[in-house]
Amino acid sequence: MDIWHLKNKYIIKFMLVIVFIYSLQCAGSSMIIAENRTWLLKSEAQKNKTVNIQIQSQSLISKEAVIKSEIKEIDMQTLVEIETITETSALVPQAAPVEVVAPVAPVVPITYQMPTASNLSDEMKAIWEKKVIGTDQWNTLIEKVSVEEGIDPIFVKCVMAIESGGYQQAHNTKNANGTQDYGLMQVNSSWGSYFDYDKMLYDPEYAIRSGIQVVRRKVILAEKSGVQPTVFEVLWRYNGKSARGKIYAERVTKLYNNLSGKTENELVLIKKTENA
């Protein structure tokens, strides 16, 4: 019996050893499987990250292409606008300042009843009287040059009122873009060598005629855009087609309405005198 029990005891121990060894092998296999699975997950994540980066790169390249296309389109539009201004300009080449000369041929006399500050309503006097009084001294010259150039002289008087108040040597040097404004009509220096700006400060007829030349450019641009060159539209373009320019146009249009008795839809063009 002792020998039997002893054998059973060793057999049991042997089996326990085998079970222990098998457990160790199973645990080792599980660890290897877990490690392999972790490596596979990391590889898959890295692969997905690479794919995402490639997709993002392609998206950025596409966006860059769109932006370049938009920039090119804007550049082309700007070029067209510049070419339009160049084509419509009837002024002399930029090689030398324009010497604006009144027509020498006899002109057909057209008489306008030029308004003065006394024609302002009481409401408008509170706002405009001082500026309009300043322009009254130029009424005869305004009428003469405006009729020669085919522009409503009352319109020109209103522009002069808001721009210089009739002060011949008005010179604005405070524009945010670095440009300057000169003379009775405050012609902007962005027109380059088309004009003799200093001459505007001592030659009132040249100053008025130069301002009217700018008005005519705005009329042509409005017509090319398919818009009627009304008082309001040309005033807006004269100051700049912006929100601020619109407020400017609204203010001066009210003055024009008061002095002329006409509406903002009145065309600024009139019949030019012969050979003007």
pLDDT at 106 over 60: no
Alpha helices in the chain (DSSP H): 2-88, 122-136, 139-149, 153-163, 204-224, 231-239, 243-260
Please say if the pLDDT value at position 209 is more than 50. Answer: yes
In contact, 149 and 212? CB cutoff 8 Å: yes
Judged by DSSP in three states, 172 sits in strand
**Given a cut of 90, is residue 199 above it in pLDDT?**
yes
Contact 163, 185 (CB under 8 A): yes
Q: To the nearest whole percent, how much of the chain has pLDDT over 70?
A: 59
- Report whether CATH 1.10.530.10 matches the domain 117-260: yes
Higher pLDDT, 206 or 73: 206
CA distance linking residue 266 with residue 155, whole number of Å: 10
Structural domain spans, the chain: 117-260
pLDDT at 126 over 80: yes
223-239 pLDDT per residue, tens:
999 999 999 999 999 99
Cα–Cα distance between 44 and 73 in angstroms, integer? 43
- Dihedral angle computed from the Cα positions of residues 162, 168, 174 and 179, in that order, rounded to the nearest 10 degrees: 100
Model confidence at 200: pLDDT above 80: yes
DSSP string over 110-145: -------GGGS-HHHHHHHHHHHHHHHTTHHHHHHH
pTM of the model: 0.61
Q: What is the pLDDT of residue 79?
A: 47
Of the candidates 246, 247, 265, the residue with the CA atom closest to the CA atom of residue 256: 265
> In the structure, what pLDDT confidence band is assigned to residue 15 with cuts at 50, 70 and 90?
confident
Whether 105 shows a pLDDT value over 60: the answer reads no
Q: Is 256 exposed, middle or buried (0-12, 13-18, 19+ CB in 10 A)?
A: buried
Q: Are 212 and 183 in contact, with CB atoms under 8 Å apart?
A: no
